[in-house]
């Protein structure tokens, strides 16, 4: 018998309502699970593998410790320091999308920057935030891409290049700077040293990277009026640097920038700046087509050297940009900090200006400017420079992403067991905190003291960024291993390991030659020599 099985409409309704009820229940359970999972940590972050014993500020549901990390400017540095005071040098936090391991201790830094440095990379976070601005430049590159650029940039800072093109460019711009300062002095004008140094370093960059002096004269010339305007593309650079850097503190920046329209502002700013850089690169490529060859006598510039690795204009733009960003504000602000330390009333007892002048005179540098090989002979000036870089570090914090799971070594002095790091977690170190830690620099860590760069016998000291006992200064040689680990100074202002600062020698030369040239020719007085200056996070400024 054939038959048709039919479901009555009422039974269909019942089964649909049951399905809806189950669906709703499943949704509620999923939501409850989500709320439970992220009750005290940032959304989409890993569960702590060390929670049973490691400290850190209590996280809020879904946002974790975002509030602690959203402080801006000088407040950021102070917030990090106050977290260190509460939780010590090592703790954990989360913000949406990643877990942050704060690792302010030489033992940890040695591990991630020496013993297992291959595992700690810039990673997706840095590339997402900065990629549009840096293209594939050194600061966002990893692996082979990074290696090629590191090699190319290392060639640029060879001794030969220092002694020829770099020295010539520096001396040329020092000449312009000295004439400008004379004009300002004649008019008895107060000026913003930090912004002047930024202009000076930008001009110097154009010389070192492109042999480009014409364009630079619109940024700074001997005429004080040149300080009253800024080319649009340089303003665009500053705007872009600010907007892109701000993204680091806002995990939902893609959404918020889209809603506010700021994504277009940052794109426009980056495009405006790159139009200028790309133009200079195109000009060189055209010159090459017409037979141009770099000449060691005229000086091989950065672009010549980078072109040995690639002739792709987009890649070249990113490579050059990386060096500009690395070298302009860092050095400009360090020179400004140095001048502030020399002239501030807190440091009057050091009589630093007179000592640097006397040192230069004693070494016979009475006219002209210091050459590259002369800088190390200025021992007191070097001590002032290093102490400035230590305490007023222009890179107050850094971070790397773990490419694979890893275990950080135990630190018995801190009572820390081995710490597990999961793939994708971020390790963060804060130079601002490290340079103020009594465990690292002694009880007077926060005091500006250039004499910590000399032994008791007056020999110059250099500190290792890592905790190797053989690098511990003479005066600490009676300490036991345990104490050495704790008290070995950690000079981390230039980073360490494979990604340490490539421009350290250049910045030191520029800093000491420029400050000595100014001090030899002028008396500087601060507009307010008792004002307290605070370092800012991100690109660090004296304000
Ligand atoms: C006082 C001045 C300077 C200081 C304190 C400084 C400090 C640093 C620090 C801390 C880093 C590591 C950044 C990070 O990993 O997040 C770094 C990287 C770097 N610095 Fe400097 N820097 C200075 C000047 C310069 C100059 C003048 C140049 C070149 C013109 C330069 C070129 C670089 C480059 C290329 C890197 C990236 C290295 C890499 O990732 O392999 N720096 N610098």
Q: Domain with 189 in it: what CATH number?
A: 1.10.630.10
| pLDDT at residue 459, rounded to an integer | 87
User: Does residue 379 lie in a domain region?
Assistant: yes
Q: Is the pLDDT of residue 351 over 80?
A: yes
Cα 417 to middle of ligand 1, angstroms: 32
Atom of ligand 1 nearest to the CA of 122: 15
Tokens matching residue 187: 């008019």
Q: Is the pLDDT of residue 265 over 60?
A: yes
Dist. CA 205–CA 227, nearest whole Å: 18
Q: Is the CB of 502 under 6 A from ligand 1?
A: yes
Q: Is the pLDDT of residue 466 over 80?
A: no
- Average pLDDT of the residues in 309-320: 94
pLDDT band, residue 16 (cuts 50/70/90) = confident
Q: Is the pLDDT of residue 222 over 80?
A: yes
Residue 482's domain comprises 143-521
- Average pLDDT of the residues in 339-360: 97
Cα 84 to middle of ligand 1, angstroms: 25
Dist. CA 171–CA 517, nearest whole Å: 10
Cα 331 to middle of ligand 1, angstroms: 10
Q: What is the CA radius of gyration of the chain?
A: 27
Q: Is the pLDDT of residue 525 over 70?
A: yes
| Average of per-residue pLDDT values in the chain | 89
Q: Is the CB of 507 under 6 A from ligand 1?
A: yes
Cα 83 to middle of ligand 1, angstroms: 26
Which positions ≥6 away from 462 have C-beta within 8 Å?
A: 453, 491
Total domain count, the chain: 1
| pLDDT at residue 250, rounded to an integer | 86
| pLDDT at residue 245, rounded to an integer | 87
Cβ–Cβ < 8 Å for 111, 409: yes
Q: Is the pLDDT of residue 465 over 90?
A: no
For residue range 149-203, list pLDDT tens digits in order: 999 889 888 888 899 999 999 999 999 999 999 999 999 889 999 999 999 999 9
Residues in the annotated binding site: 501
| pLDDT at residue 6, rounded to an integer | 63
User: Does residue 238 lie in a domain region?
Assistant: yes
- Average pLDDT of the residues in 364-390: 95
Atom of ligand 1 nearest to the CA of 398: 16
Worst-scoring range by mean pLDDT, 308-317, 373-382, 526-535? 526-535
Cα 151 to middle of ligand 1, angstroms: 15
Q: Specify the higher pLDDT residue, 232 or 70.
A: 232
pLDDT more than 70, % of the chain: 92
Q: Can you name the residues that pair with 64 across neighbouring β-strands? A: 60
**Best probe residue, ligand 1, of 173, 198, 330 (max atoms within 8 Å of C-beta):** 330
- Average pLDDT of the residues in 355-375: 95
125 closest CA partner among 518, 402, 437, 336: 402
User: Does residue 74 lie in a domain region?
Assistant: no
| pLDDT at residue 160, rounded to an integer | 87
Q: Specify the higher pLDDT residue, 272 or 160.
A: 272
User: Does residue 198 lie in a domain region?
Assistant: yes
Atom of ligand 1 nearest to the CA of 493: 10
Q: Specify the higher pLDDT residue, 239 or 541.
A: 239
Q: Is the CB of 209 under 6 A from ligand 1?
A: no
| pLDDT at residue 464, rounded to an integer | 75
User: Does residue 292 lie in a domain region?
Assistant: yes
Cβ–Cβ < 8 Å for 372, 507: no
Cβ–Cβ < 8 Å for 199, 219: yes
Q: Is the pLDDT of residue 314 over 90?
A: yes
| pLDDT at residue 462, rounded to an integer | 81
| pLDDT at residue 474, rounded to an integer | 37
Dist. CA 87–CA 261, nearest whole Å: 39
CA dihedral of residues 113, 114, 115, 121 (deg, nearest 10): 40
For residue range 85-140, list pLDDT tens digits in order: 999 999 999 999 989 999 999 889 999 999 999 999 999 989 999 999 999 999 99
- Average pLDDT of the residues in 48-75: 88
Cα 400 to middle of ligand 1, angstroms: 15
Residue nearest to atom 3 of ligand 1 (CA): 330
Helices (H), 187-261: 193-210, 232-246, 253-260
For residue range 405-459, list pLDDT tens digits in order: 999 999 988 889 999 999 999 999 999 999 999 888 889 999 999 999 988 888 8
Tokens matching residue 267: 């794109």
Q: Is the CB of 166 under 6 A from ligand 1?
A: no
Q: Is the pLDDT of residue 484 over 50?
A: no
- What's the full length of the chain, in residues? 543
Q: Is the pLDDT of residue 467 over 70?
A: no
User: Does residue 493 lie in a domain region?
Assistant: yes
Q: Is the CB of 248 under 6 A from ligand 1?
A: no
Helices (H), 47-142: 66-69, 74-87, 106-110, 123-134
User: Does residue 133 lie in a domain region?
Assistant: no
Worst-scoring range by mean pLDDT, 230-244, 360-374, 464-478? 464-478
Residues in the annotated binding site for heme: 501
**Best probe residue, ligand 1, of 117, 326, 328 (max atoms within 8 Å of C-beta):** 326
Q: Is the CB of 389 under 6 A from ligand 1?
A: yes
Tokens matching residue 281: 């690169």
Residue nearest to atom 9 of ligand 1 (CA): 494
- Average pLDDT of the residues in 510-536: 93
User: Does residue 418 lie in a domain region?
Assistant: yes
Q: Is the pLDDT of residue 475 over 50?
A: no
Dist. CA 143–CA 148, nearest whole Å: 9
| pLDDT at residue 5, rounded to an integer | 58
| pLDDT at residue 472, rounded to an integer | 39
Dist. CA 126–CA 124, nearest whole Å: 6
For residue range 56-66, list pLDDT tens digits in order: 999 999 999 99
């Amino acid at each position: 018998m054939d038959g048709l099985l039919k479901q009555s409409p009422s039974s269909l309704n019942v089964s649909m309502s049951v399905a809806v009820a189950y669906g709703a229940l499943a949704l509620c359970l999923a939501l409850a699970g989500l709320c439970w999972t992220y009750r005290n940590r940032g959304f989409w972050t890993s569960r702590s593998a060390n929670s049973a014993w490691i400290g850190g500020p209590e996280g809020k549901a879904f946002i974790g410790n975002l509030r602690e990390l959203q402080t801006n400017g000088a407040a950021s540095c102070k917030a990090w320091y106050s977290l260190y005071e509460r939780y010590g040098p090592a703790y954990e936090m989360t913000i949406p999308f990643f877990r942050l391991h704060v690792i302010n201790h030489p033992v940890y830094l040695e591990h991630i920057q020496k013993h297992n440095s291959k595992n700690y990379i810039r990673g997706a976070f840095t590339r997402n935030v900065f990629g549009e601005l840096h293209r594939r430049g050194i600061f966002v590159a990893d692996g082979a891409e990074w290696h090629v650029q590191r090699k190319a940039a290392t060639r640029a800072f060879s001794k030969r290049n220092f002694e020829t093109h770099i020295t010539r460019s520096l001396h040329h711009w020092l000449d312009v700077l000295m004439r400008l300062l004379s004009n300002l002095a004649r008019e008895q004008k107060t000026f913003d040293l930090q912004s002047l140094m930024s202009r000076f370093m930008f001009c110097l960059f154009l010389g070192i990277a492109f042999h480009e002096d014409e364009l630079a004269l619109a940024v700074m010339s001997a005429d004080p009026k040149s300080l009253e305007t800024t080319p649009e593309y340089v303003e665009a650079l500053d705007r872009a640097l600010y907007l892109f850097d701000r993204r680091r503190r806002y995990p939902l920046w893609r959404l918020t920038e889209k809603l506010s329209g700021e994504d277009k502002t940052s794109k426009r700013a980056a495009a405006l700046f790159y139009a200028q850089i790309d133009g200079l690169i195109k000009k060189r490529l055209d010159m090459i087509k017409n037979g141009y060859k770099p000449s060691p006598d005229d000086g091989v510039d950065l672009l010549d050297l980078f072109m040995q690795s690639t002739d792709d204009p987009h890649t070249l733009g990113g490579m050059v940009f990386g060096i500009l960003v690395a070298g302009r504000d860092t050095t400009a602000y360090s020179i400004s900090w140095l001048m502030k330390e020399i002239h501030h009333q807190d440091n009057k007892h050091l009589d630093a200006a007179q000592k640097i002048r006397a040192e230069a005179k004693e070494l016979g540098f009475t006219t002209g400017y210091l050459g590259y090989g002369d800088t190390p002979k200025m021992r007191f000036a070097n001590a002032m420079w290093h102490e400035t870089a230590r305490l007023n570090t222009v890179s107050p914090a850094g971070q790397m992403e773990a490419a694979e799971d890893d275990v950080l070594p135990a630190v018995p002095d801190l009572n820390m067991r081995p710490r597990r790091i999961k793939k994708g977690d971020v390790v963060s170190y804060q130079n601002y905190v490290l340079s103020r830690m009594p465990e690292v620099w002694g009880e007077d860590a926060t005091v500006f003291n250039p004499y910590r760069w000399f032994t008791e016998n007056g020999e110059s000291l250099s500190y290792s960024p890592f905790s190797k006992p053989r690098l511990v200064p003479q005066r600490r040689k009676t300490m036991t291993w345990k104490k050495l680990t704790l008290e070995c100074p950690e000079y981390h202002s230039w980073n360490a390991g494979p990604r340490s600062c490539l421009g350290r020698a250049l910045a030191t030369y520029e800093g000491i030659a420029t400050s000595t040239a100014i001090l030899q020719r002028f008396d500087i007085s601060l507009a307010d020599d008792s004002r307290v200056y605070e370092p800012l996070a991100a690109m660090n400024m004296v304000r």
